[in-house]
Amino acid sequence: MSAKAVREMMKKSSKEQEKIFEEMWKNPMKKPYLEKVVLNIGVGAGGEELERAATVLQTISGKPAIKTLSKKNVKEFNLRIGRPIGTMVTIRNKEAENLLKRLFVVNNDRILRKSFDNYGNFGFGITEHITIPGIEYDNIIGIWGLDVVGRIVRPGMRVKYRRKGRAKVPKHHYVSRLEAQYFLKKNFGIKIVDKLDLDFA
């Protein structure tokens, strides 16, 4: 969706917006889907701490986590290019949908309005991983916080990343902020809020 189209859409009521999206999604090439969910923990150093963080992500996702490497030299933080500083795991397809439903429970099925961009990306943080359903406390591993990032796309985005015949994707083919919010509300029952209360009772 172009910037102009997004501005025009914001002037409409939520019911009108939903009607426009539903009409658009009748075209199979316009119907968005959850491409992936990425979990990330920044540790800042390697060693046992990084291994414990990787174990946390593997326990949550059921997939082996990979290490992320520093891309800069930062003397103050004792960072060098190529040094492991974090860990991440990427989940796709139906597994990503099932995992995201579990992760949304932590924030009582709510997400901040400002957590979206105009390219189909959204993200939120989890302060304590043991608040995720199905995860138990382990005194050896401890308690970790993590970042969750999801991406909603339309069919055809592969042309931007494939090795052969790579091409640009026009802006109107990206999923806008409003469309991504409606996608999560419809498919995951999520509430879009301006503030997350600390008390979820």
Q: What is the pLDDT of residue 17?
A: 86
Beta bridge partners of 184: none
Question: Strands, E, within the chain: which ranges?
Answer: 33-42, 66-69, 84-92, 110-112, 121-126, 146-153, 191-193
* pLDDT beyond 90 at 179: yes
Q: What is the pLDDT of residue 197?
A: 74
For 3-193, which CATH superfamily applies?
Answer: Ribosomal protein L5 (3.30.1440.10)
Question: Please, what is the average pLDDT of the chain?
Answer: 88
Contact 25, 32 (CB under 8 A): yes
Helix (H/G/I), strand (E/B), else coil: 71: coil
Contact 160, 167 (CB under 8 A): yes
What pTM was computed for the model?
0.85
75 HSE (CA, 13 A, CB side): 0
* pLDDT beyond 50 at 201: no
**Domain limits, the chain:** 3-193
Q: What is the pLDDT of residues 77-115, one digit of tens each?
A: 666 787 788 899 999 999 999 999 999 999 999 999 999
